[in-house]
Amino acid sequence: MCMFLVASFAFAQQTLRITGTVSDEVGIFLPGVNIQIEGTNLGTSTDIEGKYSIDIPRAGVTLIFSYLGFTTRSIMVTDQRVINVKLTDDTQTLDEIVVVGYSTMKKSDLTGSVSVVKVTDIKD
Protein backbone atom coordinates (compact mmCIF):
# COMPACT_ATOMS: atom_id res chain seq x y z
CA MET A 1 0.00 0.00 0.00
CA CYS A 2 2.81 2.41 0.87
CA MET A 3 4.55 1.67 -2.45
CA PHE A 4 1.34 2.46 -4.33
CA LEU A 5 0.99 5.83 -2.55
CA VAL A 6 4.63 6.74 -3.21
CA ALA A 7 4.31 5.75 -6.88
CA SER A 8 1.09 7.73 -7.36
CA PHE A 9 2.61 10.76 -5.60
CA ALA A 10 5.68 10.57 -7.84
CA PHE A 11 3.47 10.32 -10.93
CA ALA A 12 1.40 13.31 -9.84
CA GLN A 13 4.58 15.35 -9.39
CA GLN A 14 5.65 14.66 -12.99
CA THR A 15 2.76 16.56 -14.57
CA LEU A 16 3.09 20.29 -15.03
CA ARG A 17 0.18 22.73 -15.11
CA ILE A 18 0.53 25.37 -17.81
CA THR A 19 -1.78 28.40 -17.79
CA GLY A 20 -2.08 31.55 -19.86
CA THR A 21 -4.19 33.57 -22.26
CA VAL A 22 -4.58 33.63 -26.03
CA SER A 23 -5.25 36.88 -27.88
CA ASP A 24 -5.00 38.33 -31.36
CA GLU A 25 -2.39 40.85 -32.51
CA VAL A 26 -4.33 43.79 -31.04
CA GLY A 27 -4.80 42.15 -27.65
CA ILE A 28 -8.42 40.98 -27.97
CA PHE A 29 -8.82 37.69 -26.09
CA LEU A 30 -9.95 34.73 -28.21
CA PRO A 31 -12.53 32.29 -26.79
CA GLY A 32 -12.57 28.70 -28.07
CA VAL A 33 -8.93 28.44 -29.20
CA ASN A 34 -7.85 24.78 -29.38
CA ILE A 35 -4.71 23.88 -27.44
CA GLN A 36 -3.35 20.37 -28.00
CA ILE A 37 -0.27 18.51 -26.85
CA GLU A 38 1.55 17.60 -30.06
CA GLY A 39 1.40 13.92 -30.96
CA THR A 40 -1.50 13.19 -28.60
CA ASN A 41 -5.23 13.69 -28.48
CA LEU A 42 -4.94 15.54 -25.13
CA GLY A 43 -5.95 19.16 -25.14
CA THR A 44 -8.17 21.95 -23.95
CA SER A 45 -9.66 25.20 -25.21
CA THR A 46 -9.77 28.78 -24.01
CA ASP A 47 -12.72 30.13 -22.05
CA ILE A 48 -14.74 33.26 -22.88
CA GLU A 49 -11.91 35.46 -21.57
CA GLY A 50 -9.20 33.69 -23.60
CA LYS A 51 -7.78 31.88 -20.53
CA TYR A 52 -6.65 28.26 -20.54
CA SER A 53 -5.09 25.67 -18.26
CA ILE A 54 -3.57 22.36 -19.34
CA ASP A 55 -1.64 19.62 -17.54
CA ILE A 56 1.31 18.31 -19.54
CA PRO A 57 3.24 15.12 -18.75
CA ARG A 58 6.68 16.79 -18.70
CA ALA A 59 8.70 19.76 -19.93
CA GLY A 60 9.86 19.50 -23.51
CA VAL A 61 6.45 18.83 -25.10
CA THR A 62 5.05 21.14 -27.76
CA LEU A 63 1.67 22.84 -27.46
CA ILE A 64 -0.27 23.54 -30.68
CA PHE A 65 -2.58 26.59 -30.65
CA SER A 66 -5.17 26.65 -33.46
CA TYR A 67 -8.18 28.84 -34.22
CA LEU A 68 -10.23 29.37 -37.36
CA GLY A 69 -8.97 32.38 -39.30
CA PHE A 70 -5.63 32.51 -37.47
CA THR A 71 -2.23 30.97 -38.15
CA THR A 72 -1.57 27.82 -36.10
CA ARG A 73 1.26 28.29 -33.62
CA SER A 74 3.52 25.72 -31.93
CA ILE A 75 5.30 26.47 -28.66
CA MET A 76 7.74 24.14 -26.90
CA VAL A 77 7.34 24.14 -23.13
CA THR A 78 10.60 24.38 -21.21
CA ASP A 79 10.48 25.72 -17.66
CA GLN A 80 7.59 28.19 -18.16
CA ARG A 81 4.41 27.80 -16.16
CA VAL A 82 2.57 30.73 -17.79
CA ILE A 83 2.47 30.99 -21.58
CA ASN A 84 0.56 33.90 -23.11
CA VAL A 85 0.11 33.55 -26.87
CA LYS A 86 -0.72 36.05 -29.62
CA LEU A 87 -2.13 34.57 -32.81
CA THR A 88 -1.86 36.33 -36.18
CA ASP A 89 -4.60 36.57 -38.81
CA ASP A 90 -4.45 34.00 -41.60
CA THR A 91 -6.05 35.80 -44.53
CA GLN A 92 -5.60 32.82 -46.87
CA THR A 93 -7.80 30.64 -44.67
CA LEU A 94 -10.47 33.32 -44.47
CA ASP A 95 -10.74 33.40 -48.28
CA GLU A 96 -11.73 29.73 -48.22
CA ILE A 97 -14.67 30.13 -45.81
CA VAL A 98 -18.14 31.14 -46.96
CA VAL A 99 -20.83 32.01 -44.42
CA VAL A 100 -24.13 30.32 -45.29
CA GLY A 101 -27.06 31.52 -43.20
CA TYR A 102 -26.65 29.40 -40.08
CA SER A 103 -23.36 27.57 -40.69
CA THR A 104 -20.08 27.76 -42.61
CA MET A 105 -18.74 25.80 -45.55
CA LYS A 106 -15.49 25.68 -47.46
CA LYS A 107 -15.65 27.45 -50.78
CA SER A 108 -14.73 24.18 -52.53
CA ASP A 109 -17.77 22.43 -50.98
CA LEU A 110 -20.24 25.15 -51.94
CA THR A 111 -22.72 24.41 -54.73
CA GLY A 112 -25.45 26.62 -56.10
CA SER A 113 -25.50 30.30 -56.85
CA VAL A 114 -23.64 32.91 -54.88
CA SER A 115 -24.44 36.60 -55.00
CA VAL A 116 -22.53 39.54 -53.62
CA VAL A 117 -24.27 42.53 -52.06
CA LYS A 118 -22.42 45.79 -51.54
CA VAL A 119 -22.87 47.70 -48.30
CA THR A 120 -24.10 50.73 -50.24
CA ASP A 121 -26.87 48.61 -51.81
CA ILE A 122 -28.01 47.49 -48.36
CA LYS A 123 -28.24 51.13 -47.19
CA ASP A 124 -30.43 51.95 -50.19
- Residue range 63-83, pLDDT digits in tens: 999 998 899 999 999 989 999
- The predicted structure's pLDDT at residue 123: 64
Mean pLDDT of the chain: 81
Q: Write the pLDDT tens digit of every residue in 3-42.
A: 544 455 444 457 899 999 999 999 999 999 999 999 999 9
What type of residue is 107?
K
- The predicted structure's pLDDT at residue 115: 66
Please report which confidence band the pLDDT of residue 2 belongs to, taking 50, 70 and 90 as the band edges.
very low
- The predicted structure's pLDDT at residue 91: 72
Output 123 or 7, whichever has higher pLDDT.
Answer: 123
In the chain, count H helices and then E strands. Answer: 3, 9
Q: What domains can be seen in the chain, in order of their start residue? A: 2-90 (2.60.40.1120)
- Phi first, then psi, for residue 6 (nearest 5°) are -65, -45
Q: Closest Cα partner for 24 from 14, 15, 32, 36?
A: 32
Give the predicted TM-score (pTM) of the model: 0.65
